[in-house]
Amino acid sequence: MNKNTKVTTMARHCYTEAYTNYLRSGNLEEATRQVAHDIYVNRGTAPGTQQGDWQKAERITREWPQTITEASQAHLFDKALSKTRQWLKEIELELDLNNPNDAYRALRAVLHAVRDRLPVKESAEFAAQLPMMVLGMYYSGWTPMNKPEKTRNMDEFMDHVAAQLPQGMDPMRVTQGIISVLERHISAGEIKDVRRNFPEHLRELWEEVSENSRR
């Protein structure tokens, strides 16, 4: 892999939601605008200008049209959609839900709670194993500043999950169900890394699910 290809690959990884939207729409200008906004948000109080953010975004997205042909774009989109549907169907069955919308909201709630509790590097490594169309949801609203968030106890973690769930859903049951699905699709090594980055009082979430799956 040459240097330019490596830079382009890293740019797609860091701005996954913008790149995913670009694959769907083909609108490079809108993708550049989204990357510029992310750059602005992520630099916080660091010095910078709107023009500078836009110029940096243009450098990042300039190579994107060369990374994928029209034919392979359609193929990858169909494949990503199929994989996402598979995950949602598994979640519906795991949690005894009646529609993919509730399954999506359950997945989003747990992924965001897990994401915000992980260090930035580990969060990105975990995200790399998610379906492409789940990646945009995973990074939606995320900022690397002040991560990982402090979670003092299980109740605080469950409050984080519950905040994004439909009324009436049990956050503990949902979390355990989503973890069960994740363990079927994420590599054992990555699951181990995620568990290691959780404080001891939260690791029992993963350990209990793993123990039940072995029975």
Do 3 and 107 lie in one domain? The reply is no
- Answer positive or negative: Cα dihedral of 171, 204, 190, 42: positive
How far apart are alpha carbons 39 and 60 in whole angstroms? 11
Buried b (16+ CB within 10 A) or exposed e, 164-195: bbeeebebeebbbbbbbbbeeebeeeebeebb
pLDDT tens digits, one per residue of 136-179: 889 888 888 888 998 888 999 999 999 999 888 999 999 999 99
Band the pLDDT of 208: cuts 50, 70, 90: confident
Higher pLDDT residue, 205 or 94?
Answer: 94
pLDDT at 172: 94
Token pair, residue 148, equals: 């990982």
Segment 100-113 mean pLDDT? 95
What pLDDT was estimated at residue 103?
95
Share of the chain above pLDDT 90, in %: 35
Contacts of 44 (CB under 8 A, 6+ apart): 145
Same domain for 139 and 74, yes or no, is yes
Residue 169, CB half-sphere, CA atoms under 13 Å: how many?
29
Q: How confident is the model at residue 83 (pLDDT cuts 50, 70, 90)?
A: confident
Same domain assignment for residues 113 and 189? yes
My answer on whether 129 and 210 are in the same domain is: yes
Q: Is it true that the peptide bond before 199 is cis, omega within 30 degrees of 0?
A: no
The mean predicted confidence, pLDDT, of the chain is: 83
Tell me which of 15, 42, 68 is where a domain ends: 68
Q: CATH number, domain at 138? A: 1.10.490.110
**Residues 56 and 93 grouped into a single domain:** no
Q: Which residue has the tokens 């997945």?
A: 107
Q: What's the average model confidence in pLDDT over 33-44?
A: 86
| Judgement on whether residues 119 and 202 belong to the same structural domain of the protein | yes
Q: Which residue has the higher pLDDT, 5 or 73?
A: 73
* Structural domain count of the chain: 2
Q: How far apart are CA 51 and CA 74, in angstroms?
A: 33
Higher per-residue confidence, 165 vs 8:
165
Confidence label for 1 from pLDDT (cuts 50, 70 and 90): very low
Residue 90 has pLDDT above 80, yes or no: yes
Dihedral in degrees, nearest 10, Cα atoms 78, 114, 100, 182? 70
Distance CA 54, CA 57 (A): 5
Query: How many whole angstroms separate alpha carbon 53 and alpha carbon 55?
Result: 6
Range of the domain at 6: 1-68
The pLDDT assigned to 71 comes to: 46
- Interval 177-189 mean pLDDT: 93
Q: In this structure, what token pair is assigned to residue 173?
A: 């049951």
Considering the entire predicted model, what is its pTM? 0.66
Kindly indicate the confidence band of residue 74, based on its pLDDT and cuts at 50, 70 and 90. low
Q: Are residues 143 and 202 in the same domain?
A: yes
Structural element, H or E, at residue 170:
none
